[in-house]
Amino acid sequence: MKPHFTWLRASAVLTAAGLLVAINGCSFLYNLSTNQCNTTKDCLALGKEFADSVCSVEQHVCVANPDSNAGSSGSGTSAGTSSGGASASGGTGHPNGGSKPSGGGEAGGGEAGSGNGACSTNADCIAAALEQPAICVKKAEGNECVVLTTEQCPVLLPTTVAGSSTLDLLRTNSPLVLGGFATMNVGDPHETLAVINWDLAFEEFNEAAAKNSNKAAFQPVLGLICNGAFPNDGDLAVSMSHLTEEVGTPGILSTLSAPNLLSAWNYTQSDEYTGNTVMFLSTGSATLQLANLDDSGYVWHLLGDPRLLAATVSSLVRQIEPYVRARQPDSAAPLKVALVSNDNQTLNDITTVLTNAPPSGQAANDPRRFDYLTFNGDLAIHQSSQFYQAQIKSGDQTSAQKAGDDILKNPPQIIIGLATSEFAALIREVEANWGKASTPSAGVPRPYYVLSHYLATANNVLTDTPSLLAAYATAATVPPLDTRLVGVNYALAQDTHSKDLYDSYLQRIKRFYGTNGKLTLDGTENYYDGAYSMLYASSLTNRTAPTGADVRDALENRVLNPDGDPLDIGPSNVETELPRLISTLKAKIALWGTDGPPNFDRVSGTRLSPTSAWCMNDIGNYKYKYSPDGLLFDATTGTFSAPTSGSVACLAKFQQ
């Protein structure tokens, strides 16, 4: 895995004076490491902000000199300088001390100073923040230092640029800062599929742009990524406030769940919101609510809406039905199907579409009929004795195991898993207890599984130690689990040009990630495409401080314009084409991504995405490989066909 650095967390807004905080009766300077000093000389060497500090030898941190009066009080006038009041006693009328660079007014230490002297450059703020990433935000009431990384937003991208740190880029330039949300591992936030893809895209884009000798107009673009898992109550609002109202980002890349993305959008529409407009680009699929959202074009999605995936699921069930039926003791008996879904909004929407009743009088050959789950020659909702549903909680293995126990009481031939990684617990429960003597599943052939697109990108839950697939590939579990498991996903573009772009991207990101990581990078190109789309859009607004409206207009009209000149995604064109596009104000491109040309429904902001079936291919020695696009779905006919390269072995048997 590529080495990376996660910035230590500091308060969002601070100055050198504001770095003194009261802890256990002592004033500690912001602790950049577990061993900040061994002697007072170490503290003094850190700069003028530490001139009145001493080293606490017990805790190895720099603390305010108890024998010095500097910063210990403020008289309203003296504490109301551009640095603000720094002490706990504060200035007149403000007992709590101040920490904002624009003066003590907001944070409470003395009356606010002029503010304009708080910072002039990012370098001023980085020095004040003791080498943490910070920017000088210019506001009407005075300039203000804002530390970028926080507890909620711990990742700043790119990790490096041409061998230099992102901090150097901040110090010597005035980069534009985009925001992002990704569901992170708190212990290692960089070990996240979205973050890895975005890091590569931001590094490539900035490095390639900087190579052009005519780069004066180019403004570096950084990404401040927040944890979209929101481990604490209120984290979403805190993150949105930091990104939009403190940092002032004009655009946000998002892997948020549908309810959280809607909440983030609604945050920017509230009466209390004080920031500018924000463009949201979701790198995932839309829900029905989001696809129909009245958002004035501020919310776009790199993948399609649930109706297309619902059609793919129902058609895949019909595709495997003859094969499954032929392997039952009585091939004429009706099949049973269980539909298990979790509380993810997109998956809930797919379930709703699958189990809706068709409009009265709808023609039998109407393509919209592919949305509805059909087997045994009839709609699932008409077969109460052959079809049943179960609801589980996202990420909750216990609820998945319980649903597995319920399935064992009424064993089906096909189990549809519209769920995420917790569904592996259901499979394990079913497989471990299937066929036991004196149980309903005794003598019943083992079930087949149709899995969601989320399990395509989280397929490692099927192969991680202990491997679920390997555990049920024995003589006692005939046929082996891997031969009974298929799924749906958005398809890779099938034209040669897009495939070449994808193959090139996949080589670069695997090299970038390294060989020590455990994540599966295949099929995660939507994160990469989304980052490049936002990077180009934010660079082509013709403004150094664009708003969300500027980014939205550039994205729609200059970057993802189907009538623009085709331009391949990736670093090779950035060096030459970006300066040309910046200088040619009316130039438009159709950014050709790894998923193909920009084919979007511009009313809903959703991509018109092709879909396909995937499976896990046995590569020997109880090891399995995720195989995408084994069968391609045709939404106009509701049928599957083999790609030009031919079907993979784990899907070929289902072709009739």
Domain span at 40: 10-145
**Predicted local confidence at residue 182, as pLDDT:** 97
- Helix crossing, 193-211 with 496-513: angle to 10°? 100
Q: How confident is residue 66, by pLDDT bands cut at 50, 70 and 90? A: low
Is 318 a member of any domain?
Answer: yes
pTM over the 0.75 mark: no
**Predicted local confidence at residue 361, as pLDDT:** 64
Q: Which of 111-115, 378-382, 519-523, 526-530 bottoms out in mean pLDDT, i.e. has the lowest? A: 111-115
State both tokens at 106.
């907001």
DSSP line for 413-450: SEEEEE--TTHHHHHHHHHHHTT-TTSTTTTPPPPEEE
Q: Is the Cβ–Cβ distance between 370 and 636 less than 8 Å?
A: no
> How many domains, in total, are found in the chain?
2
Identify which has the larger pLDDT, 429 or 369: 429
State both tokens at 156.
């700043």
264 vs 295: CA distance, rounded Å = 12
**Predicted local confidence at residue 91, as pLDDT:** 34
**Predicted local confidence at residue 117, as pLDDT:** 43
Question: Tokens 């017990």 appear where?
Answer: 58
Amino acid making up residue 427: I
Q: Tens of pLDDT along 617-635?
A: 999 999 999 999 999 999 8
Amino acid making up residue 334: P
Q: Is the Cβ–Cβ distance between 591 and 607 less than 8 Å?
A: no
State both tokens at 581.
């596009």
Q: Tens of pLDDT along 30-42?
A: 222 334 565 676 6
Q: How confident is residue 6, by pLDDT bands cut at 50, 70 and 90? A: low
Q: Tens of pLDDT along 476-513?
A: 889 999 999 999 999 988 899 999 999 999 999 999 99
Residue after which a domain boundary falls, among 107, 127, 145: 145
Average of pLDDT values for 106-131? 64
Q: Which of 267-276, 441-450, 516-525, 584-593 bottoms out in mean pLDDT, i.e. has the lowest? A: 516-525
Partner residues linked to 428 by β-bridges: none
Is 446 a member of any domain?
Answer: yes
DSSP one-letter code for 242: I
List Cβ neighbours of 242 (8 Å cut-off, separation of 6 or more).
Answer: 12, 150, 152, 153, 226
Q: How confident is residue 140, by pLDDT bands cut at 50, 70 and 90? A: confident
Residue after which a domain boundary falls, among 145, 173, 205: 145
Question: Tokens 């004429």 appear where?
Answer: 332
Considering only CA atoms, which of 59, 81, 116, 36 is closest in space to residue 50? Answer: 36
List Cβ neighbours of 299 (8 Å cut-off, separation of 6 or more).
Answer: 261, 265, 280, 282, 290, 293, 605
How, if at all, do strands 251-254 and 176-182 pair? parallel
Question: Tokens 């392997």 appear where?
Answer: 327
314 vs 622: CA distance, rounded Å = 30
Partner residues linked to 299 by β-bridges: 280
Is 242 a member of any domain?
Answer: no
161 vs 27: CA distance, rounded Å = 37
285 vs 103: CA distance, rounded Å = 45
534 vs 551: CA distance, rounded Å = 8
How, if at all, do strands 21-23 and 26-28 pair? antiparallel
Residue after which a domain boundary falls, among 104, 123, 145: 145
Q: Tens of pLDDT along 159-209?
A: 988 878 889 889 888 899 999 999 998 888 889 999 999 999 999 999 999
CATH value at residue 391: 3.40.50.2300
Is 95 a member of any domain?
Answer: yes
Percentage above 70 pLDDT, the chain: 81
Is 152 a member of any domain?
Answer: no
DSSP line for 143-155: -EEEE---SS--E
Q: Cis omega before residue 158 (within 30°)?
A: yes
- Give the burial string for 616-653 (b: 16+ CB within 10 Å, else e): bbbeeeeebebbbbbbbbebeebebeebeeebbebbee
Residue 165 burial by Cβ neighbours in a 10 Å radius (0-12, 13-18, 19+): middle
Q: Which of 113-122, 249-258, 338-347 bottoms out in mean pLDDT, i.e. has the lowest? A: 113-122
pLDDT(105) > 50: no
Interior CA angle at 159 toward 158 and 162, to 5°?
A: 80
Is 138 a member of any domain?
Answer: yes
State both tokens at 217.
């107009």
State both tokens at 71.
């910063």
Average of pLDDT values for 62-69? 62
Average of pLDDT values for 219-235? 95
Q: Is the Cβ–Cβ distance between 113 and 102 less than 8 Å?
A: yes
Is 119 a member of any domain?
Answer: yes
Q: Is the Cβ–Cβ distance between 177 and 148 less than 8 Å?
A: yes
Q: Tens of pLDDT along 599-614?
A: 998 889 999 889 999 9
Partner residues linked to 450 by β-bridges: 416, 486
The dihedrals phi and psi of 125, each to the nearest 5 degrees, come to: -75, -35
Q: How confident is residue 656, by pLDDT bands cut at 50, 70 and 90? A: low
pLDDT(342) > 70: yes
**Predicted local confidence at residue 19, as pLDDT:** 37
Q: Tens of pLDDT along 354-396?
A: 998 777 666 544 545 678 999 999 999 999 999 999 999 999 9
Identify which has the larger pLDDT, 139 or 580: 580
Is 554 a member of any domain?
Answer: no
